[in-house]
Amino acid sequence: METKAHIEEHHVGYTTYVLVWLALMVLTGITVWVSYLHFGVFNIVVALLIASIKASLVALYFMHLKFEDKTTWIFVLYPIVLLALLIGLTAVDVFFRTTP
């Protein structure tokens, strides 16, 4: 896993940044709107889904993850897997609990 110091110029124009910003604002609006609808348990799923999309946009463009090498990607993806485990396995506990 030799990480070469590969320094290239990534010209992401202002247009991209503005578009990403607009997307974030729209998604924030959707989050607020969705909170007035009632999907039961799926409210959480929807909220987390939108939040994840926003976080990904920030990481990919604002934090330049899109242009990073494999090692960096591994270090980003692994914690996401762990977070999924934390939420997923805790959910296994909560949803399969038998109330006495």
Partner 1 sequence: MANHTVAETIHVPYLEEKGILSWILSTDHKRIGIMYLVSISTFFVLAGIAALLVRLELLSPGKTIVDAHTYNVLFTFHGSAMVFLFIVPGIAASFGNFLIPLMIGARDVAFPRLNLLSYWLYLLGTVIILFSLLKPADTGWTFYTPYSIQTGTDVILLTFGVFILGFSSILTGLNFIVTVHKLRAPGMTWHRLPLFIWSSYATAILQLLATPVLGITLLLLIAERVFGIGFFDPAKGGDPILFQNFFWFYSHPAVYIMIIPAMGVISEVIPVFARKPIFGYKAIAYSSLAIALISFLVWAHHMFVSGMSEVAATVFSFLTFLVAIPTAIKVFNWLATLYKGSIELRTPMLYALSFIFLFTIGGLTGVFLGTLAADVHLHDTYFVVAHMHYVMIGGTVMGFFAALHFWYPKMFGKMYNEAVAKVAWFLVFVGFNVTFFPQFILGMEGMPRRYADYPPQFHTLHEISTIGSWILGLGILIMALNLLRSLTNGEKAPDNPFNSLSLEWQIPSPPPHENFEKIPHVTDWTYGYGKKNNQEG
Residues near partner 1, by CB under 8 A: 1, 3, 71, 75, 78-79, 82, 85-86, 89-90, 92-98
- Comparing CB distances to partner 1, the nearer of 25 and 51 is 51
- Comparing CB distances to partner 1, the nearer of 11 and 97 is 97
Under a CB-based contact definition with an 8 Å cutoff, are residues 24 and 54 in contact?
yes
CA neighbor of 31 nearest in space, from 48, 6, 7, 14? 48
Q: HSE, CB side, 13 Å, CA atoms: give it for residue 75.
A: 7
Which residues are within 8 A (CB) of 3 and not within 5 positions of it... i.e. 6 or more apart?
69, 71
Min CB(97)–partner 1 separation in Å? 4
- Comparing CB distances to partner 1, the nearer of 25 and 86 is 86
Min CB(86)–partner 1 separation in Å? 5
Min CB(51)–partner 1 separation in Å? 15
- Comparing CB distances to partner 1, the nearer of 16 and 43 is 43
Under a CB-based contact definition with an 8 Å cutoff, are residues 59 and 24 in contact?
no
